[in-house]
Amino acid sequence: MCGITGFWDLKNIYSSQDLKNIINKMKACLKSRGPDDSGIWIDNKQNLSLGHTRLSIIEPTSLGRQPMISSNNRFIIVYNGEIYNFFKLKEQLQKNNISFRSNSDTEALLEACSFWGIKKTLSLISGMFAFALWDRKKKELILARDRFGIKPLYYSLQNKLFLFSSQSKALIKHPKWKKKVNPNTLADYFKYGYIPSNKSIYQDTFQIPPGCYIRINLEGRIKEKCYWNLKEN
């Protein structure tokens, strides 16, 4: 289990130190999910910050540290989970002259997204996962969740401020995010005894639905795409 978090402010400008301070506070909330290591990555021009807390299992060395940058320097990923067939993916990518620095499933997932694109990669991978992928070229952020929603992934968009995290408590650490309980979701909780898998207790805050991913662009437009559902498989 690891923790992922980040934010992209499409409206306000931050200093490098502000970006660093905020993402470190958000990341610190997730230490219990990943006590072995942690890291951040910041794009100062885009006001975008990514954070990760790591539970080292498959690749225990520093070569598996996240956020991780693709070999072509185009993509950056923060990822939580396990890709069961990553050795097979790695072998296919190596046949296409993709080189690897580590034995981590993170790097296999990252290079797969870089080489095949998000749609094909999600159709090929098997596992439990939640990840965020930043595309430097398109200036686009992609968030994806596994087929059954085993790994959590929350996101929120308020006044051109986009945030995401493995747990909603990290969102509270951003000074511009407004914490307000959603009465409709609260009613769902009292009715069903749980919060539905695509909702959150907070307003303007949701979970990526199982088997789906979203894209958010420079204009703050969010597009959701479901790549798998039980009825069709």
Q: Using an 8 Å Cβ cutoff, are 36 and 96 in contact?
A: no
Measure the CA–CA gap between 90 and 103, rounded to whole angstroms.
9
Q: What's the token pair of residue 3?
A: 């923790």
As to burial, measured by CB atoms within 10 angstroms (0-12 exposed, 13-18 middle, 19+ buried), residue 116 is middle
Measure the CA–CA gap between 142 and 46, rounded to whole angstroms.
15
As annotated, the active-site residues are: 2
DSSP reduced 3-state for 124: helix
